[in-house]
Amino acid sequence: MARIEVPMPQMGESIAEGTVSKWLKRLGEPVQRDEPILEISTDKVDAEIPSPAAGTLAEITVQEGETVGVGTIVAYIDSDGNAPLAQRPVQDGARPAAPPPPDEQADGAEDEAAEVPAAAAAPPAGERPAVAATAAPVPTAPAADTAEERARTRSTPVVRKIAEEHGIDIESVPGTGHAGRVTKQDILSFIEGGTPTRVEAPLAPEPVHAPAAPAAPPRPPAVPQEPPAAGLWDAFYREVKHPEYHVRPADRVEPMDKIRRLTAEHMVLAKRVAPHVHSFIEIDFTVIDRIRAESKARWTAQGARVSYTAFVAWAVSRVLRDFPMLNSTISGNNVIYRGNVNIGIAVDLDPGLIVPVVHDADHLGLVGIGNRIVDLATRARERKLTPSEIQGATFTITNPGVLGTLVGMPIIPKGTAAILGTGAIEKRVVVVVDAVTGTDSTAIRNRAYFSLGYDHRIVDGADAARFLARLKETLESFPSDA
């Protein structure tokens, strides 16, 4: 018995993808060569896709409503070369192995085009979820395909999609629409009040990663679990599903470790929720350099270590007192103005990133902040931070300049309103004004670009500009007794 691929067909020169709108055949159903087995839709066109061979529809790899690139395998036909008498492919023994990754068949398909939605029931790391491969063969039922039947179908495609996602038989939903049609409202009410026969979409309050399906059968569910349309926005702000891509022969695939996974999810959610704006300013480090030079002997004697970042954190913690919106977060319809100034300091673990927190930085002196940062960073690299030391940041400082980067546009951590990026400090030729004579001259100064990323829902551009101006002023006239 040969296994034959059914790819998403090329329906035109400029058509890169198609949406599976309807499966006309079910798993296990016999099909004739050239008999339509599914319908796809692209811009303004519905098209029937015929079977490339006679046999049995053995596997459906793309579900109704999903959009995939041209060339992506949407199904497999088990061809026996004869009339399709074998209605139950399982009689051949164990069901066939999971299909190879789509790229092996999808020559010429765009790499990015074939996004395979991950099943929400988290599959074992590194294992491709075998979508829909396991449903038992269904008794043959000719698909409703005549004009009459189609026109009288009791639902719209949107409603059918919702039903499919919830595993609801549309026949069981009372319809209040025209001629007993099931409206979107009908099915949503049914879902709220009734019992979905399959699995509910994961909408736990904080499912940072998808929970394992409770009491799930050993095999993945037949239908990828998508959130219901009604919960779309909830899911949008709470769930992260990363698209999947083709693996090429020379590639290496490994599961994300925990830090990477949490980082990836955090970044997606943080960027999704907060409308990011970035503003930039240039800081002169002349005064800070002078203080560092003057204090070096004393700090060394004390065993203190005061980095540039410590100066910045000290200045930020003081300036923030006058800019509560930058030390806040939007929560539902409220704004929470944080009562503490807890400065998160992004630390490069190479590989990886972690953000330990200097709690109550506005109550610490410069040396205190410096020592705390060194302590936290050291223990971060030794993986010895306690959970409380990486929680509760109200404002974050990240230092893309540490390796020479001029300026960065950082992502605002979830639950805060702003992040400061410090660019590389380097000697620049600048124009300075002589304080006595008022004449211009050039000078060589240590300078850096700072970027402020802020949540535009709560921080206006002018707030950010005032904050940056004040920060510049504070850093450039840094008090010698801080």
Residue 89 is given by DSSP the state G
Please state, in angstroms and rounded to a whole number, the distance separating the CA atoms of residues 129 and 109: 21
Q: How far is the CB of 152 from another protein (least distance, A)?
A: 8
Contacting residue, 153, 279, 340, 405, with another protein by CB under 8 A: 153
**Is 156 one of the binding residues for another protein (CB under 8 A)?**
yes
Query: Is the Cβ of residue 158 or residue 444 nearer to another protein in the bound state?
Result: 158
Q: How far is CA 412 from the centre of its chain?
A: 14
Q: How far is the CB of 184 from another protein (least distance, A)?
A: 5
Region from 10-18, 95-103, 247-255, 262-270 binding another protein, contact rule CB under 8 A? 10-18
**Is 147 one of the binding residues for another protein (CB under 8 A)?**
yes
Strand, helix or coil at 133?
coil
Query: Is the Cβ of residue 147 or residue 462 nearer to another protein in the bound state?
Result: 147
Region from 11-19, 264-272, 319-327, 367-375 binding another protein, contact rule CB under 8 A? 11-19
Strand, helix or coil at 443?
strand
x/- track of binding to another protein for residues 50-69 (CB under 8 A)? x-------------------
Region from 9-17, 55-63, 134-142, 465-473 binding another protein, contact rule CB under 8 A? 9-17
Determine contact, residues 361/317, Cβ cutoff 8 Å: yes
Q: How many residues bind another protein (CB under 8 A)?
A: 38
Q: How far is the CB of 263 from another protein (least distance, A)?
A: 36
Please state, in angstroms and rounded to a whole number, the distance separating the CA atoms of residues 369 and 362: 9
Strand, helix or coil at 22?
strand
Region from 8-16, 285-293, 315-323, 458-466 binding another protein, contact rule CB under 8 A? 8-16
Determine contact, residues 281/460, Cβ cutoff 8 Å: no
C-alpha dist (Å) from residue 36 to 44, 49, 52, 67, 143: 19, 5, 9, 19, 10
Query: Is the Cβ of residue 181 or residue 470 nearer to another protein in the bound state?
Result: 181
Strand, helix or coil at 10?
coil
**Is 382 one of the binding residues for another protein (CB under 8 A)?**
no
Q: Closest by alpha carbon to 241, among 261, 215, 218, 219? A: 261
Contacting residue, 85, 94, 97, 151, with another protein by CB under 8 A: 151
Q: How far is CA 448 from the centre of its chain?
A: 31
CB under 8 Å to 290, separation ≥6 — which residues? none
Q: How far is the CB of 142 from another protein (least distance, A)?
A: 15
**Is 146 one of the binding residues for another protein (CB under 8 A)?**
yes
Determine contact, residues 238/206, Cβ cutoff 8 Å: yes
Contacting residue, 14, 91, 388, 442, with another protein by CB under 8 A: 14
Spell out where 171-297 has E strands: 276-284
Query: Is the Cβ of residue 150 or residue 290 nearer to another protein in the bound state?
Result: 150
Contact set for another protein, span 28-47 (CB under 8 A) = 34-36, 39, 41-47
**Is 108 one of the binding residues for another protein (CB under 8 A)?**
no
Q: How far is the CB of 5 from another protein (least distance, A)?
A: 18
Contacts of 287-291 spanning 24+ positions with Cβ under 8 A: 287/475, 287/476, 287/477, 287/478, 288/475, 288/478, 289/446, 291/478, 291/480
Query: Is the Cβ of residue 11 or residue 430 nearer to another protein in the bound state?
Result: 11
CB under 8 Å to 101, separation ≥6 — which residues? 128, 246, 247
Region from 102-110, 141-149, 416-424, 466-474 binding another protein, contact rule CB under 8 A? 141-149
Q: How far is the CB of 225 from another protein (least distance, A)?
A: 22
Please state, in angstroms and rounded to a whole number, the distance separating the CA atoms of residues 381 and 351: 10
**Is 461 one of the binding residues for another protein (CB under 8 A)?**
no
Query: Is the Cβ of residue 39 or residue 78 nearer to another protein in the bound state?
Result: 39
How many helices (H) and strands (E) are present in the chain, helices listed first? Answer: 9, 19
Q: How far is the CB of 41 from another protein (least distance, A)?
A: 5
Residue 207 is given by DSSP the state -
C-alpha dist (Å) from residue 427 to 2, 286, 287: 70, 10, 14
Which residues participate in catalysis according to the annotation?
456, 460
Query: Is the Cβ of residue 42 or residue 340 nearer to another protein in the bound state?
Result: 42
Query: Is the Cβ of residue 22 or residue 338 nearer to another protein in the bound state?
Result: 22
Q: How far is the CB of 12 from another protein (least distance, A)?
A: 4
Please state, in angstroms and rounded to a whole number, the distance separating the CA atoms of residues 372 and 310: 9
Query: Is the Cβ of residue 33 or residue 427 nearer to another protein in the bound state?
Result: 33
x/- track of binding to another protein for residues 165-204 (CB under 8 A)? ------------xx--x-xx--------------------
Which residues make up the interface to another protein (CB under 8 A)? 10-15, 21-22, 34-36, 39, 41-50, 146-148, 150-151, 153, 155-159, 177-178, 181, 183-184
